[in-house]
Each structure stands twice: as structure tokens, then as C-alpha cells.
Structure 1
């Protein structure tokens, strides 16, 4: 099988890498030709028909980072990959799933990668990206996004294996799934620590601090929801994968035996992580409720203070309005009592009446606790 002709790519980074258990080395290159100078892949990719397992045969692993449509087409041609699989990889199908074909099975998972642009727009929010794992009898093909460290970590884990005989294409698939689930652990610990800090601050914060806490609580709940959404699909995928592996009419491409214990361990870890996130979400929800309750109580106290002040102002205005009305009426072009008399007797009499009226009204208001 000759290597398909490849056009030049604008990017020069080493996007293609190939690992073989025979040499325990990883070869990286920006082009196919750099990995396979001979141009013939038959001695490596003999996966078109299902054969009996050969323990002595080396296991290979081919990874393509940020695959283009042309890259996917070349791999599909070389390994007889189904057109539906190639289409999912090209369009970056986000749905996590397990699909089985004649000579391989596909696992599509979402992982978290560092994205500077996403981090600048929404700090603390990991960027989800799709990783596709195609598992053959003696090899694995992965299509990974840039910023993803799973490939490097799993290859380092293979290098440190105490028993190389354990290595198989199914084990590589398990190790990738395990590493993808593990990558959520730092984010889980981070939100847990942040939730504990917020819970401590809620009961000792002043009113101005409580107002500042509300956006922090809201942002943290968004982070938790984002992580839970990324993990929920993996539960269904792993459950379906394990059921297919345990089925009596299990297809030959699926793993069996001891590898199911490894997958069960990943399931337990995933369930534990989701349980922890659910507990953290409850704590944050309670803290958010306490913050809102404190704000409501403070607003109620302020409202009562304002109403009390306004009621006093209203009573005082009610007392002064009749006096203002009387002075206004006699300020017009009408005869004022005592205007023809000499002295200030009438003036002090009228002012005294006003003062007496005010004193009586204020006494009545004080008796009924209106002042």
C-alpha cells in the first residue's frame, strides 16, 4: 500500500507522531514523509482483516494533532476507516460516543485544553476540545487537539510500565480515557477550594463585601456547571463501552479480561468526581442563598429607616402646612386684623397662636409615636 501523495501544509510544527513498542521510541514530524520515508505502510498498518492475536507482534500508536480534512482522508485511506468516522473527525463532532466497525472501534471524548483566547475572555474556564481514539487489533490512531498533553503523558506512562507484556492497543485506549478523566481533577480541587473560601467569607463579610461576593459565587457556579456538563457524557460512554465488552455476544474488536477492571476503576473515579462536584454545587448554592438573604435583610433595614424618616418629615410638613395656608391667605390684598393698631400686640398674638398650634400638634404626634 503506497502512501498517498500529500500536499504542503502551511504549518511546520510536528503534528504527526508515531510510537512503536518494538523500539519504545516516538518519531515526530510535520509531514507524513518524515515519519515513513519509504512511503509503504503495509508492514505497520496490516489491520484490514481481523486476525488471531499475536502476542509477539509490536503495538503501534499514530497520533495526528489538529488534523485537517486532508490528514483525515490520508489516514482513512491507509487504514480503511469508515466514511462516517472520517466525517465525525473532520467536522469535530462534539457528541461523546462509542462506535464499532469491522476492524476497529471508535471512542470520541471531550477533554480540556488551555486556550489563551478563551482564558482572556472567561478566566478560569477550561476550553473543551474533542479527541478521537480509533483502536485496532495491534494499534491505535488518535486525533488530538493542540494544547492537549494526554498523548505525552500516556507515552511516558508506557515507558515506565513494569510489565511490557500488558501493553496492547486496548490498554493504550484505557490509559487515554483514564488520563482524560484525571485532567478534570485539578479543576475539581480548584473549585472546591474556592467554594470553601467563599463559604467562610459569607458569614463574616460586611455588606459591601457581600455585594462583591455575589459575582464570585455566580462565576464559580458557572465553572462547576461547565465541568459537570463535560463529565456527564463520559459516564454514558463508559457504561455503554463496558456493557459491550461484557456482553455474551461480544464483538472481537472489544477488549475483555483484566482490562475491564481498569475500565471499572475509571468509572469509579468518574462517579466520585461527579459526586464531589454535586456536593460543591450544593455548598455554593447555600452560600449564594445566604448572600442573597443578607442583602435582603440589609435592604429591609434600610427601607424601614427610610420609611421612618419619611413619616417624620410628613408629620412635620402636615403641621406647617396650615400655618403656611393662613399666612398665605392674609398675605393677599385683604385687610389684616390689627393692621391699623399701633404696637406689636397683634403680631405676637398671631405668632403665639401659630406656636401653640405647632406645640399641640407635635404633642399629639409624639403621643401616637408619629415622631
Structure 2
């Protein structure tokens, strides 16, 4: 996309010579390179625009950390863009900002820049009249803005998990919580370096960054700080839900153990009485050997003694409040 205040050209170009012709005709040109299959074309673009060789290698070799590198006639910026609003997977986007040009390198098709393209097509705002630095800001702002819906989705999932943990502490909840903490850690690692990117762009005076663009970059810096606050809040919530889940499981186990303990306590005297009257002493050898065995109501007496012992223990436990 090559544009100025009054004109716009948008086309697919596969020849470096055609790019240079378009560049000479417009104040600003945005070259968006998606996928890196044509190494010769990329090398030609690097030579035509004087891009530093090491920076060009970093743009093609992904898995770079978000950063800013300053060169004599251009800036090299790396950012991480979410694949979509419902995902936490990121892809690298590299920016080369020079006098009158902006070159972006994307790993794969699909991005969050369509709103910027529409603004350029409709000449809305100041983007058509500003330089390449403002166009770079607009793209970086779109990248940062995609993190808000992703975190909103994470917040909804956390609320649903909170209801599940509090309502029914199931074994699957802890696995879901650990997945959520891992996603939040991934988002934190993606968002955190962007603060240093915007801080560098704001702090260092570079001729390619106009003074009029810095307030907009400051707004992006504020957004990254806000995102970090949200991520940290959600991480604390996830950690708190893990503690709540473990506490709930422990409480359920304690309730079960309390019931089993009460039952065992009630049966202790019953077992004692049954064992006493189950001893095989010979009554004919001594009148003291189990005289109750000769009673006419000896068996009902033993049963009543057991029931009385059990009832007494139940009343005592209830009086102490141990039954809840």
C-alpha cells in the first residue's frame, strides 16, 4: 500500500523494481510480506532499502523477543501478535521503519491489521497524511488491542471455573486451573517485553519518530501497563482458585472422615459388649462364669445394653456439636 494525503495504490507486487517505482511516486509506502518462501525477493528488498543484514535475519528467523534496534537510517521492531482473539498463541511480526517506508514481516497469513488498511483506504484520521512512524504506531496499536479480547475471554473462563470450584470441587478442576495459569504465563511473557519496546521508542530521540507520534506511542505504553495489571490480577485469581479447590477437597475429606469417625466411635462399645458375651467360659465350672447367659432375658438385655450405649454416644456427640 503506497499512499499520500490525496492518493492511494494497493496491489500485490512480486518484483523489487516495481516496488521502487511505486516508492518514488508516494510519500509513504507499506510493504507487507507474508511468509518467507521467496528468499531472493526478501534479499532484494533488503538491498533496495538498505536493511541491516542481522535485522533481516531476525525478521525471517522467528521466536524473537519483542525488541527495538536502532540503525542509522531505519528502526527494527519486533512484536508478538495473537493469532486470534480467542487464542493465546502468538506469531512474530517484524517492522522496518525508514524514511517514507514501512516494511512488515509476518509468519503466516491472517492478521489484525484490517482496520488499519480500512483507515488508509478511507483516508480516515491522520494516517494518510502522517509518515511511516505513525503507520507503524497504528499497526502496533492494533496488535496491543488484540490482547484485550483475549484477556476478556480468559476472565470469562476464570469466572466459570470459580463457579465450578466453589460449587463442586471435581478432580478435573485442578487440571483446568493449571492450564489457565499456563495460558496466563504465556500471555505475560508476550506482553511484558512490549512495555520496553514502547519505552525505548518514547525515551530515545530518533529522527524517524516524529514528536507528534510520541503521544500515541505513550498511549500504547499505557495499554501494555494496563494489560500487565489484568494479567497479574488473573494470575492471582487462578492461584487463589487452586487454593480454594484444595481447601474444598480437604473439607470434603474431613467431612467424610468425621462421619466415619462417628460411626466407628458408636460401634466401639457395641463391639466391646459383643466380645464380652462371646467369651466361652464354662458356666458349670464356676457361678461367676458369665451368669447372664443363664438369664431368661439375657439376650434382650445384651441388645438393650448395646442400644443404650449407642444412643448415649449419639446424644453426647450431638450435644458437643460434632455432627454439624
Paired residue for 2:37, among 64, 68, 88? Answer: 68
Matches within 5 A, 1:150-161: 150-160=112-122, 161=124
- The CA distance in 1 between the partners of 2:129 and 2:18, in whole Å, is 28
Matches within 5 A, 1:1-371: 19-21=1-3, 23-28=7-12, 32-33=14-15, 39=17, 42-44=20-22, 57-68=26-37, 70=39, 71-114=41-84, 125-160=87-122, 161-163=124-126, 166-199=129-162, 205=167, 208=168, 213-245=173-205, 251-252=206-207, 254-324=208-278, 326-327=279-280, 349=294
Q: Helix, strand or coil: the match of 1:28?
A: coil
Shift of the alpha carbon at 1:347?
11
Structure ranking higher on relative contact order (CA contacts 8 Å, 6+ apart): 2
2:82/2:91 contact within 8 Å kept = yes
Instruction: Give 5+ residue unaligned stretches, structure 1.
Output: 1-18, 47-55, 116-123, 246-250, 331-335, 340-345
2:270/2:306 contact within 8 Å kept = no
Instruction: Give 5+ residue unaligned stretches, structure 2.
Output: 286-290, 318-324
- Give the aligned length: 307
- TM-score, normalisation: structure 1: 0.70
2:73/2:98 contact within 8 Å kept = yes
Taking a change above 3 Å as real, the CA distance of residues 183 and 164 of structure 1, as seen in their structure-2 partners, is closer
Shift of the alpha carbon at 1:145?
2.5
Shift of the alpha carbon at 1:352?
6.8
Root mean square deviation, CA, Å: 3.5
- The CA distance in 2 between the partners of 1:200 and 1:358, in whole Å, is 49
- TM-score, normalisation: structure 2: 0.79
Shift of the alpha carbon at 1:357?
6.7
Taking a change above 3 Å as real, the CA distance of residues 28 and 44 of structure 1, as seen in their structure-2 partners, is closer
- The CA distance in 1 between the partners of 2:97 and 2:90, in whole Å, is 22
Q: Helix, strand or coil: the match of 1:149?
A: coil
* CA deviations over 1:288-323 (Å, ceiling 9, x no partner): 433433332222111111122223334433333344
